[in-house]
Chain A
């Protein structure tokens, strides 16, 4: 159904935007060989959480995650939502800051950082102001516009691949203890929360979301394996953004453009803007739930300004990484506790219902 399609596309785009930047470097840093294993673990965790979350939500058709708790006391539910809100805001800060940094690094070396932060934030605030319908529809349009470019570059990036670098396959569990590995979960945890927020506006079928999650698996693998297959683990681990480096070394004679990286990165940034606007929208929904009197547009404006100043205040990349690591705890909360809790409540409700009907 068409509505499912929108949710599916949004789900894919959010993750695509997050996958190709920090994720490969984190995975490459967390293990020396057999990278498929940490990726696979990540994907499995992702699927388990996603399924639990959607199963939990399915007990409450046509309700979003906020109205599930509408009967409970606000103070109690706040304990549940506060970490989510904090996570969302932190994720927005990290994403904006990191991507602004990447943009200056890759193609706008003369442009001051804060203008890029301002640009990213203002456009995403504008989109999120327009509401969830507009976000999902814009996702559809952007998917048609930019996904072919992304796919083209992705296929092209196999140009310099030496498949033998994939060997050896054997692997160990050493990556579990690496902080870089936990940072890599940023790519998994970012997107799926919105499924709980779109319910009354956009209904979707669980099957379709699973399909889009499956669709993403090759992207997770390629983003790590293309740098490794081209450069080898030893050289790839030296790169800050391995995938970007690989795309930069693609040589296409017949194109009028020289650096295809640019187009690849830009299409990803288009997706990231969508991700940001979605996150902003979610954050505003939560805040507005607790401060119902204020107008969402003012909240949005205030939040964006606050985020802008925080981003501006973060001095360098090391701090971004620190925040990313600190964010790991909240991330595990969002990834594990939230789906489980929703599922638990759903089950309890269902049991109560069946008891009553008997």
Chain B
């Protein structure tokens, strides 16, 4: 197979020019002609979606936040409307946060999430949060508070920036999984705009099959994160006799099926350091206090979840080998609701600071 080399060159050149001439004309927009929203807010108004975008715009060397909104039958149509009215193209490629208004979430967000999953524009790793106030107002407040810092909403959730262990980190794909999975529900951070800070976190929303059914506090969210294995690093717990800081945690779960009833043994191991004490409590007392505090909190949380049949901990996962797939479909109603949970907390006090505790 040998053509003369000259012919090869001609062939390549002609192919290249052909490609250049024929295809130089589709619209590849340069990055400075695209608007890259960091967060998007979605709210259902009657049969229409109100979409609000938070776009950082570089103006004279600094970032400013621009809030734009539009209403249309679908989310993408609304984005398209905004794009048409703006001077540059709106590109959802960099959306990091999706805010959904509480009422909308209570109605169910299956379609919205499926839409985000379907389009490749919004990355499936974008975070989802639920907004506990009017969306328009929320975005306006963000703008006021976040003046000159285009990315503050995003940084709030960034693990290496403003994230705290009592904020649930839930991504679009996890919500999507929660909608379809038999055994997994999700908790989503519940947010409202703050007076001085950009955002205030007031807890988490429990989503069951894409519908918000319940709300839990920040403290309970911490437990959720601890259970999920997200680091609980640096979180403080105040008790009657001491304040401790959480260093790390580990959970061991064993699920058993007894007479078709689910039983769960959970062992939560926590490593803490003592920060402050009141009086002269013994180490055992402190351990005891943490133990009761955590167990009680867990039990309360579980009761709440069981009432709503929302398995945010993915407890059903531990029964996959015992319950056949057909019955697993009804895990939430048949098993989870009546599951017996036994929680043991084991506390290790890693150190006590510079002072000794008796």
Contact = CB atoms under 8 A, between A and B. Distances in A.
User: Are chains A and B native binding partners rather than an unrelated pairing?
Assistant: yes
Contacts of B179: 235
Interface string B1-15: 111000010001001
A297 B180 contact: no
A250 interface: yes
Contact of A32 (B2, B177, B321, B325): B325
B335 to A, nearest CB: 15
B180 A234 contact: yes
Contact of A249 (B2, B15, B94, B171): B171
A145 B12 CA distance: 24
Q: How large is the interface on B (under 10, 10 to 19, 20 to 34, 35 or more residues)?
A: 35 or more
Interface in B15-56: 15, 19, 22-23, 26-28
A112 B317 contact: no
Interface stretch (B119-127, B187-195, B292-300): B119-127
A111 B27 CA distance: 8
Most B-side CB within 10 Å, residue of A105, A107, A249, A259: A249
A261 B106 CA distance: 33
Contacts of B158: 253
Given A231-B173, A234-B180, A131 B1 contact: yes
Interface stretch (A52-60, A87-95, A162-170, A324-332): A162-170
B91 to A, nearest CB: 10
B303 interface: no
Contacts of B181: 231-232, 234-235
A248 B15 CA distance: 34
B263 interface: no
A196 B124 CA distance: 43
Given A129-B1, A164-B317, A115 B23 contact: yes
15 contacts: A110-B27, A111-B26, A112-B23, A112-B26, A129-B3, A164-B317, A164-B318, A230-B173, A231-B180, A232-B183, A245-B173, A248-B124, A249-B171, A249-B172, A296-B1
Given A111-B28, A112-B23, 8 more contacts: A109-B120, A110-B27, A122-B19, A231-B177, A249-B173, A253-B158, A284-B1, A297-B1
Interface of A: 32-33, 105-107, 109-112, 115, 118-119, 122, 126, 129-131, 160, 162, 164-165, 167-168, 230-232, 234-235, 238, 245, 248-251, 253, 258-259, 284, 295-297, 300
